[in-house]
Amino acid sequence: DIVMTQTPLSSPVTLGQPASITCKSSQSLVHSDGNTYLSWLQQRPGQPPRLLIYKVSNRFSGVPDRFSGSGSGTDFTLKISRVEAEDVGLYYCMQVTQFPFTFGQGTKLEIK
């Protein structure tokens, strides 16, 4: 199975400041079709996960442009340009290149 490792596991951030989460996979996420199936999810307290970013850098419908994704191969990053109060929650990277699909451990974003 592909192991996804996120850092940090906890990220206290000041409102209006940037935040960054990294995700490393134990093997390349490049699919045989040439796509890299790395996604980022947000889970607000008491809510189900929701998709933010897919295929490394594509924002899902309705996701604010302060969220951006980058990376390639085995190393990926989620950036929030200016953190807002509604961004508090857990963030997960996930790979859907190979089954079983796997998730990172989750990063808790909180306001200082």
Partner 1 sequence: EVQLVESGGGSVQPGGSLRLSCAGSGFTVSTDYMSWVRQAPGKGLEWVSLGHTNGNTYYADSVKGRFTSSRDSAKNMLFLHVNSLRVEDTAVYFCARGRTGDLYWGQGTLVTVSS
Residues at the site binding partner 1, with contacts judged by CB under 8 A: 35, 37, 39, 41, 48-51, 54-55, 58, 60, 92, 94, 96, 99-106
Instruction: Give the shortest CB-14-to-partner 1 separation in angstroms.
Output: 26
Instruction: Give the shortest CB-91-to-partner 1 separation in angstroms.
Output: 11
Instruction: Give the shortest CB-16-to-partner 1 separation in angstroms.
Output: 29
Task: At 51, list the tokens.
Answer: 């998709």
Q: Which is nearer to partner 1, 77 or 105 (CB)?
A: 105
Residues 6+ apart with CB under 8 A from 52: 39, 40, 41, 42, 59, 60, 63, 67, 69, 78, 91
Q: Which is nearer to partner 1, 16 or 100 (CB)?
A: 100
The alpha-helical segments, DSSP class H, found in 47-103 are none
Q: Which is nearer to partner 1, 20 or 106 (CB)?
A: 106
Instruction: Give the shortest CB-53-to-partner 1 separation in angstroms.
Output: 10
Q: Which is nearer to partner 1, 17 or 58 (CB)?
A: 58
Backbone dihedral region for residue 73 (phi beyond 0: left; psi -120 to 50: alpha; all else: beta) = left
- 101 neighbors 1 (Cβ within 8 angstroms): no
In angstroms, rounded to a whole number, what is the distance separating the alpha carbons of residues 25 and 46?
28
